[in-house]
Structure 1
Amino acid sequence: MRKYLLLLLPFMLLSCEIATKAEAKVQDPEISFEENLWPEIRKKRIKELLPDALKEAGVDAWMIVCRENNNDPLADHIGGENAGGTAAFLFYRENEEMKSVVFSPEGEAMALAELGIHDRVEPVERGKSALEEAVAFLKENNLNTLAVNSSDNNSLADGLSYTQRSSLEEFTKGTAINLVSADEVVYHWLSLKLPEEVEIMRKAATLTAAWQEEAYNMVVPGETTDADVARFLKQKMKEHGVKDAWHPDQNPNVNSGVDRGHSHATNKVIQQGDVIQTDFGIKVHDRWVTDIQRFAYVLKEGETTAPEDIQHYWESAKRGNRVAKEAMKPGVKGVDVDGAQREVMEEAGSSYVMWSTGHPVGYVAHDVGPNLGGSQSTHVRPDSNKTLKEGMTFAFDGFHSWELPTGGMKTISVEEMVVITKDGAEYLTAPQEELVLIE
C-alpha cells in the first residue's frame, strides 16, 4: 500500500497545485447590466447633443425615414425602432433648442407619442404620405437645408433607400428645400458620448479585461488551443448575458501564432515560447461595446520571465500606447496621434504595421469619430484630419512587429480604451502593464 501511495503522491500534489491556481484566478468584478438605461439616455442625447450637431453641420433640419423590416440604422437612436408604415422624423433648432416632430402612420402614432421622446407626433391618415406632410412642414417653417441619410462614407448615415430618396426629390421639386448628406450631423452627434454612457463603458471595459486575464489562467501549454480560450470567453459572455462587440465568428480573436489580422480563433495548440494575443469586445445593454487586447507569454522550461527580445517587443508596444495616450487631447488631429505612436515604433526597430493606431468605439467597435491613422499613408482619410473632442471614446494600440524564426510576422498591439477629457485622455479600465506569464 505504501508503494502505491508514494506513486500517487506526485499526482496528489499536482492536483493541489491546480486547485490552488484555480482558486487564485482572476475573479469576476461584481458588475451587472440588468437595468436598461437607454430610453432616458436617448432622450438626453437628442436634447443636449443634437442641437450642436445640426449647428456644426450647417443645416436647418435633419430627417430620418423609418419603416418596418428595412429600417434606418439609426432608428432606435430616435425612437423609430417600432415603425410600421413609413414615418418621417424631423429635427430642427428653434431658439437654440432642439425641436422634433414626427409624421407617423396613425396606427403607430399613439404609442410613439407615449414614449415622450418628441415634441409632436402628427398622425398621418391611411393613403397619405408622411414624407409629403413632412415636406409641407419644412416649407411652412422655412427649413430649407435638409440633411438626409444618404452617404458615400458612413454606413450609419446611409439609411435612406433609393425609393425614399426619389420620393423626397419629387416632393421637394420646385421648392427652396435643398437635400444634403447627413454625414456631418451623424458624425458630430454619434462621436460624443454622455457621462452616463462613459460610465457604462467603464464597467464593460473592466469586465472585458478581467475575463481575458482569467482566460489565460486556464491555458495548459501543449494542450489548450486558441479556440479553447475563445470558447472560455464565449461562456463568460453567456453567463453574464452580454453580446459580441463585432461579428461572433471573429470575437474573440485569440492568436498564439503568426499574424492573421481580423480573423477567427483556430485549433492551433498553444506552445511554450508563444506570445498569445486576445482581441475581445462585449456589447452591454444591447448598445455599448468594448474593444480591448491582452497579451501573454508562455514560459519555456527553466524560464521565470520572458526572454530579452520578447520583453523588448512588449515594452516597445506598451510605450507606443502610452505615447499615443499622451498625444490624445481636445483639438489634436487623429493623424497626429498616429504619428506620435509611429515614432516610437521606428525608434524601437519595429517592422511596418498596416493598421491605424486607433479608432472610435462606442455603439459599434469601429464607431463614428476621428480615425487615429494616416501618418504614413499617401492618402489620409478625411476622418484622420478631424480633431478630438471631450466626450469621445477610443480604442487605440501601441505596436511592435517582428519576424518569427519560423517565418511570418508577429505583432504585439497593446490596445486600451480611453475617454477624452478637457485635460487629455483617461483610461476606461486599468491598462495592462506587464505580460501575463503562463507557466
Structure 2
Amino acid sequence: MAFYKDKLQTAYDTMKKENIDMWIVAGQESATNSEPILPIISDHEFIGETALIFMKNGKAKTVCTPIDKNGYVNAGVFEEVIDFPVSFDQSVADVIKDVKPQVIALDFSENDPSSDGLTAGTYLHLMESFKLADFQGKVVSAKPIVNRVRGIKSSRELDKIRKACAAAEEIFRKAADVIRDGVNCQDVYAFFQKETDDHGYGYAWSKSCNPGVFSGPGCPAGHMGAPDVVIRKGHVVNIDFGVKVDGYSCDLQRMYYVLRDDETDAPEDIKFAFYTERDGIAATAKYMTPGKTGLEVDTFCRETITSKGFAEWGCATGHQMGMEAHDGGSILGPQKPRYNRDDLIRVPIEAGNVFTIEPGIECSGGHLGMEEDVVVREQGAEFLTPPQQELILIRSK
C-alpha cells in the first residue's frame, strides 16, 4: 500500500487556501463502486468501510477494517490508524470530536463527476457520524481539493502520459500504410483497435468509440467510432485516438490527405486550413500561462483561427486529461449554454495542468480536427508529444 505524498501535499496546501479544516474521503469496496480520487492519491482500494481523514495542519488519520490496519500503518502517512471493532460511524465521530473542525469537505459535486465519489450509502453513514459527534460546523464540496490534486500533474504522471502519446503516435504512423482510396473508415478503425489490443494498451475512452475515423465532406463525426464511409481521393481523413498506458491516457487527432492521381501535394485551400489550425494551436499553447482562465484561452484560440476567415467550432477548445481522457476539472471553453459556468471556464489554469487543444474547422476536403496534448508551464504550455506539422500525404497504390 502506497500513498503519493506529492498529491497529499497538494491537498493540504489547498485546504489551507480554501480554509477547509478536514477532508474525508470515505467509501466501501471501491473495486465495486469506485471513488475517483483514490487512485490519484494511492495505489490502494477500500476493503469494507473506510475513511481517510486529512486535516489542514498536514496530519491524517484513517478509520478502517482490522484487516487493513497494518497496511495503513506501514504507509507512513497516518498519525493514527483506527481499526473500528464495531461501529464505523462512532469511530469517525470520535475523530471529529477530537479534532473539532469547523468546515468539513466531502467528495460530492453536482456537475463534476471526478469530485462526486461519495456514494449515497456512505453519505448516510457520515451523517450519522456527524450526529454522534454533535458536529455543528459546515459541510462543503471537496471539489476545490479534488480538482487541484487531480489536475496538477506530477513528473511521475507526466512521464506516463508521454508514454501513452508515444504509443499512439506509433500507431498513427503505421496507419499511413492502411489509409487509401477505396478503404472503408471502419477498416481503419479495426486496424487501430487491433494494434491497441496486440500491444496490450488500454483505451483512453470507450472502445466502441475509439478511434473516431472520419473522411471527406459531410462525413458523420463525433463520439461514434467510424461510420460506413469509403475513403476517396481528395479526402482529408481525421482520426481521433487515445490509448492508456500504465494507467494514464492520451487524446490526439491526426490529419491525413489522400492525393488525387495528378497531385503531389494537397490543394492550397486545404493546406491553408491545416496551417491555420496548426499555427492557432501553437499560438494558443504559448498563450496558456498560469492564471489565465479557460474562457480566456478558448477566446484567444477562436479569435486566432476565425480571423483567417473560418467559422468557429461548436465545442470547447480543450479539456483536462490524465488517468482518463476527460479527467474532470475546468476546461478551455466558451460562453455557450453548455459550458457557461464559473467553475468550468472561469477558473484560473495552473502550472502542471494537462489540457488538450483541439479546435476544429471545415475545408473542401472535409473536417480538420487536429488535437494536441500539453502541460501548462510558467512560460506557456509544453507539448507532450511533437505536434503535427504537415498533413500526412497518402499516395495512390
Change (3 A) 1:117 1:268: farther
Question: Equivalent residue for 2:291?
Answer: 331
Alpha-carbon offset, residue 312 of structure 1: 1.8
Match of 1:214 among 157, 170, 174: 174
Q: Mapping of 1:269-280 within 5 angstroms?
A: 269-280=230-241
Shift of 1:260: 1.3
SS in structure 1 of the partner of residue 161 of structure 2: helix
Report what 2:191 is aligned to: 232
Relative distance call for 1:315 and 1:54 in structure 2 (3 A) is same
In 1: Cα distance, 2:339 partner to 2:191 partner: 41
How much has 1:259 moved relative to structure 2? 4.3
Q: Distance in 2 between matches of 1:375 and 1:324?
A: 18
Q: Deviations over 1:257-293 (max 9, x none)?
A: 42411211133221111110111111111x2110011
Distance 1:57 1:231 in 2: 48
2:136 counterpart of 1:176: yes
Unpaired stretches in structure 1, ≥5 consecutive residues: 1-38, 405-409
User: Which residue is equivalent to 1:261?
Assistant: 222
Going from structure 1 to structure 2, the CA distance change for 1:326 and 1:265 (only over 3 Å counts) comes to same
What is the 5 A alignment of 1:148-227? Answer: 148-173=106-131, 174-222=134-182, 224-227=183-186
Q: TM-score, normalised by structure 1?
A: 0.83
Question: Is contact 1:416-1:427 (8 Å) kept?
Answer: yes
**Cα distance change, pair 234–118 in 1 and its aligned pair in 2 (3 A):** farther
Q: Which runs of 5+ in 2 are unaligned?
A: none
Separation in 2, partners of 1:379, 1:393: 19
Whole-angstrom distance in 1 between the partners of 2:141 and 2:21: 12
Q: CA deviation at 1:99?
A: 2.1
When Rg is computed on C-alpha atoms for both structures, the one with the higher figure is: 1
Q: CA deviation at 1:181?
A: 0.9
Aligned counterpart, 1:4: none
Query: Is contact 1:320-1:397 (8 Å) kept?
Result: no
Which residue does 2:376 correspond to in 1? Answer: 420
The one-letter amino acid of 1:146's match is I
Matches within 5 A, 1:48-87: 48-68=9-29, 69-79=32-42, 81-87=44-50
Alignment of 1:262-341 (within 5 A): 262-285=223-246, 287-341=247-301
Q: Specify the SS of the correspondent of 1:309.
A: helix
User: Contact conserved, 1:226 with 1:269, CA < 8 A, in 2?
Assistant: yes
- Residue 59 of structure 2 is matched in structure 1 by 99
AA matched with 2:144? E
- Conservation of the 8 A alpha-carbon contact between 1:316 and 1:400: no
Between the aligned partners of 1:55 and 1:226, the Cα distance in structure 2 is 52
AA aligned opposite 1:165: Y
Distance 1:55 1:368 in 2: 22
Number of equivalenced pairs: 388
* Contact kept in structure 2, 1:316 and 1:399, CA below 8 Å: no
> 2:56 is paired with a residue of what secondary structure?
strand
Q: 1:31-58 CA distances to partner (integer Å, 9 max, x unpaired)?
A: xxxxxxxx76x52333432211222332
The verdict on how the C-alpha distance between 1:228 and 1:190 changes in structure 2, with shifts beyond 3 A counting, is same
Instruction: Write the distance in 2 (CA, Å) between the matches of 1:261 and 1:331.
Output: 31
The answer to which of 424-433 and 342-351 deviates more is 342-351
Match of 1:9 in 2: none
Alpha-carbon offset, residue 235 of structure 1? 2.2
The match for 1:16 is none
Give the Cα–Cα distance (whole angstroms) in 2 for the partners of residues 64 and 80 of structure 1: 15
* CA distance in structure 1 between the aligned counterparts of 2:358 and 2:7, rounded to whole angstroms: 32
Q: By how many angstroms is 1:428 displaced?
A: 0.6
Deviation at 1:178, TM superposition (A): 2.2
DSSP-derived class of the 2:280 partner: helix
Separation (CA, whole Å) in 1 of partners of 2:40 and 2:164: 20
| Partner-residue secondary structure (3-state), 1:49 | helix
Pair 1:89 & 2:52 matched: yes
Matched, 1:430 2:386: yes
Provide the rounded CA distance (Å) in 2 between the counterparts of 1:180 and 1:299: 58
Matched, 1:137 2:100: no
**TM-score, normalised to structure 2's length?**
0.91
The answer as to 2:360 corresponding to 1:399 is: yes
Residue 411, structure 1, aligned to residue 367, structure 2: yes
CA 1:77–1:116 in 2, change beyond 3 Å: closer, same or farther?
farther
Structure 1 residue identity aligned to 2:16: K
1:87 and 1:104 in contact (8 A); partners too: yes
CA RMSD of aligned residues (A): 2.1
1:23 alignment counterpart: none
| Distance apart, 1:217 and its partner CA | 2.0
Identity of aligned residues (%): 29
Tell me the amino acid that sits aligned with residue 170 of structure 1.
E
Q: Secondary structure at the match of 2:358?
A: strand
Any runs of at least 4 consecutive aligned residues in structure 1 with deviations exceeding 6 A, and if so which? none
1:331 to 1:78, Cα distance in 2 relative to 1, 3 A? closer
Q: CA separation of 1:362/1:379 partners in 2, compared to 1, >3 Å: closer, same or farther?
A: closer
